[in-house]
Amino acid sequence: MAPIDVLPAGHIDAIHEASLRLIETIGIEFMGQAARDVLRRAGAETDDGSGLVRIDREIVRQSLALAPQRFTLTPRNGARQIALGDNHVNFSLVAGPPFVHDSVQGRRGGNLADYERLIRLAQSFDIIHYIGNQPTVPLELPAETRHLDCYRANLVNSDKVFHCTAIGAERALDGIAMMAIARGISREEMAASPGVLTIISVNSPRRFDEAMTDGLAAMAEWGQAVCVTPFTLMGAMTPVTITAALIQQNAEALAGLTLAQLVRPGVPVIYGAFTSNVDLRSGAPAFGTPENVVATLAAGQLARRYGLPYRASNSNAANAVDAQAAYESMNSLWASVMGGAHLVYHGAGWMEGGLQASFEKVVVDVEMMQMLAEIVTTPVLDDVEEVLQTIAEVPPGGHFFGAPHTLKRYRSAFYEPLISDWRNHGAWSEAGSPTAIDRARTIWQDKLERFTPPPLDKDVLERLDAYVAERKLALAGR
C-alpha cells in the first residue's frame, strides 16, 4: 500500500525550512572534538567552548544529495539480505531493555542466557528480518567487553543482519570485523558490501555526545549503514506540540546525517524518527498514542522529501502483555508501515516503554506483524471468469468449503495464525480455555525446544572465538 501523507505538502515544506533555520542560526551541540573538526573543515561555524555547531543549509543540501536512496545489507547468509528503500519493510527484534520477562520466571535483570534465547527466537521467525542492538543487556558481563559476547551470540545463533553498538569507535569496529569474519571477507570488502547497521541516538534536545559521533564516524568510514534517530518526546525533550517536535527532530536528524556524509560521501544512511509524547503528570514516556502516530506518519513524509530510507518503531508503554500492549503496538505498527518505514525497530518484544524484553510479547508482535504483512501486500486479482463460474456452481444458501476454488487456494490465501487459532468455543474450553499469553508461552517454548542453530563452518567459529579472546585481552590490559 502507498504511504499515507498525513500533512499537506506546504506543512512539510515549512517544517523543512524551519529545521534549516534551526541548524543555521541556533545550532546543534557536538560534544566530540573530532566531529566538530569534520564539520569545521566542511565550512560549518563551530565553537569549541560551547560545542555548538551552525551548519549552512548548502552544506546540508550537498551532503544529503550524496546519500543513496536504496541499498542492501548482507549478513553471513546471503539469502537473508535485507533491502532498504523503495517499498521494502524490515522488522527487528526488540533492542536495549535492561530487564527481561516471561510468564514462567517473571521479571529479571538482563543476562547472556536470555540474550541468546531471544536471538534464537528472532532466528525462528521469518517476519523478524534483522537483530537490533542488544535485545537485553547481559548485566553480569563486564561493560567494556560484553559487546563481543553479544556479537558472537548473534553470529552463532542467527544468520541475519545485526546492529553494531556505536558507543565509541571500538565497539562499532568490532562488530564490523566479526561480521566480516563470518562472511569470509575482509573489512575492506565489507566497506563495499555493507552487512551491519547502527542507530545513532541523539541526546535530544540538540546534543550529540562524543561516543555517539565517534561510533558514527567509525561506521561511516567503513561504509556501514548509519541511522540517526533523535529521541524527541514532546513536553520533555522538545516543545509540547507536534509541529515543534518535528522541526527539532528534523534538524537533529539532518545534522547527524550530514556528518556521516562528510566522513564518507555516499555512505548508506537512514532517517530515524522516535517522536512521541510524555505524561506531563509523571514524566513517563507514552507510545502508540495519537501524537505518536501522527508524528511517525509525518516523519515518513520528511524522509521521502529527502529521498532517504526511513526508520520508525513498534513501541508501547504497557507494563503487562495485555490489551494496552496490543493496541498501542498495533497503532505503532500501522503508523510505521503506512508512514513508509523501511526499518521498523523494536518490532518484536518491546514492553514497559523500552525497559523490558518480553518473551510472550515477541510472539504477540510476530502475530501482529504477520497479519500486517498479509494486509498491506498488494492483492493479486483472481481470474474473474473462474470466480463467476465458482459462484454459479454453488446454489443459493450453499457453501464454498469444498469448492475447487477454495481447496486450491486455502494454504496460500489464508493467514496462518500463531496465537488466535481457536475458532470453536467448545474446543477452546476443552483445552483449558487458554489465553493469548498461554498460547504465546507455548509457542516460544516450543520454538526454543526445537531450535537448531544455522550452519556455521568450524573454522569460522574458531576465528570468531580467537578474535573475541584477543580483543578481551586487549581491552582488559588498559
Q: Tens digits of per-residue pLDDT, 243-286? A: 999 999 999 999 999 999 999 999 999 999 999 999 989 999 99
Q: For 141-192, what is each residue's pLDDT tens digit?
A: 999 999 999 999 999 999 999 999 999 999 999 999 999 999 999 999 999 9
Angle subtended at Cα 188 by Cα 185 and Cα 193, rounded to the nearest 5 degrees: 70
- Enclosing H/E stretch for 197: strand 196-202
Look at residue 332 and tell me whether its pLDDT is greater than 80: yes
- Segment 374-390 shows an average pLDDT of 87
Domains of the chain are: 1-378+415-478 (3.20.20.480), 384-413 (no CATH)
Q: Are 471 and 174 in contact (CB under 8 A)?
A: yes
Angle subtended at Cα 166 by Cα 346 and Cα 466, rounded to the nearest 5 degrees: 105
Name the residue type at position 116.
E
Q: What is the pTM of this model?
A: 0.96
Which is nearest to 465 in space by CA: 182, 124, 165?
182
Residue count (the chain): 478
What is the pLDDT, as a whole number, of residue 423? 76
Which is nearest to 166 in space by CA: 106, 120, 215, 129?
215
With a CB cutoff of 8 Å and minimum separation 6, the contacts of 310 are 270, 271, 272, 273, 299, 300, 303, 304, 339, 340, 341, 342, 343
Look at residue 411 and tell me whether its pLDDT is greater than 80: no
Look at residue 415 and tell me whether its pLDDT is greater than 80: no
Taking the C-alpha atoms of residue 365 and residue 418, their distance in angstroms, rounded to an integer, is 10
Percent of the chain surpassing pLDDT 70: 99
- C-alpha cell of residue 284: 513517563
Quickly state the pLDDT bin for 381 (edges 50, 70, 90): confident
Taking the C-alpha atoms of residue 212 and residue 190, their distance in angstroms, rounded to an integer, is 21
| Helix-, strand-, coil-residue percentages of the chain, each rounded to 5 | 50, 15, 35
Name the residue type at position 290.
P
Look at residue 416 and tell me whether its pLDDT is greater than 80: no
Q: Is the peptide bond before 434 cis (omega within 30 degrees of 0)?
A: no
Quickly state the pLDDT bin for 414 (edges 50, 70, 90): low
Range in 74-83, 193-202, 204-213, 381-390 with the lowest mean pLDDT? 381-390
Taking the C-alpha atoms of residue 232 and residue 302, their distance in angstroms, rounded to an integer, is 15
Q: For 92-149, what is each residue's pLDDT tens digit?
A: 999 999 999 999 999 999 999 999 999 999 999 999 999 999 999 999 999 999 999 9
Quickly state the pLDDT bin for 421 (edges 50, 70, 90): confident
